[in-house]
Amino acid sequence: MNRMLSTLTPSSRARLAGTLYLIVVLTGIFSLLYVPSRLFTDDALLQFNRIREAESLFRWGIAAGIICYLAFTFLPLVLYTIFHQADRSAAVLMVVLALLSVPISFMNLAHKLQVLDLLHQGQGMSLETGANAVQLQLQAYDHGIFLLQVFWGLWLFPFGYLVYRSGLVPRILGILLMLGCLGYLIQVFVPLLYPAYRQWSMRSLVSLPASLGEIGTCLWL
């Protein structure tokens, strides 16, 4: 793949990276934010009925997740060809940390596929039992997403460093990406060690640097 990408002009590689990044951002927003906001709730029975009534939306959320993770598989490889001259070791680390999350992400989607099976196992299963089983699968999926944030954060540090050092992209975006790494790690370790953190009204600000850095870099490319 590296040989194929080397035949492209630098601007073409940047546009390709930007396109892949945009796919990751849009499908990620749809599958991780929009669909859960429409269907998921702490009430197991209400959630079961919502998913059953809007099964097509739930299925589109799974499809968007698959597309997101596929695009994310190729994104760091393209970014490597753009930024490796700034620091080859950092570029390799960026690729490794990014790709480590991909198989875990795909395996985590199996919980949502199991939900689809549960929706259609009506015989021999009460509504309440089915709703609780779906709730358990989605809780397991959420736990997977929680742990995936470690890798979603770690790859941003070498990526941000490369952006800052290369000068090919505004350096402020590199700083935001590196801060985004810290933000992701905070979102994992602080609530794990101090559960009261989940009640902090300003916790959403922790993820702001990553959002600004990633979307800004995507649009710049």
Structure token pair of residue 18: 């930007």
Contacts of 90 (CB under 8 A, 6+ apart): 158, 161, 162, 165
DSSP 124: T
- Do the beta carbons of residue 151 and residue 102 sit within 8 Å? no
Q: What is the pLDDT of residues 121-177, one digit of tens each?
A: 765 677 888 889 999 999 999 999 999 999 999 999 999 999 999 988 999 999 999
pLDDT 10s digits, 50-80? 999 999 999 999 999 999 999 999 999 999 9
Per-residue model confidence as pLDDT tens digits over 91-100:
999 999 999 9
H/E segment holding residue 23: helix 10-29
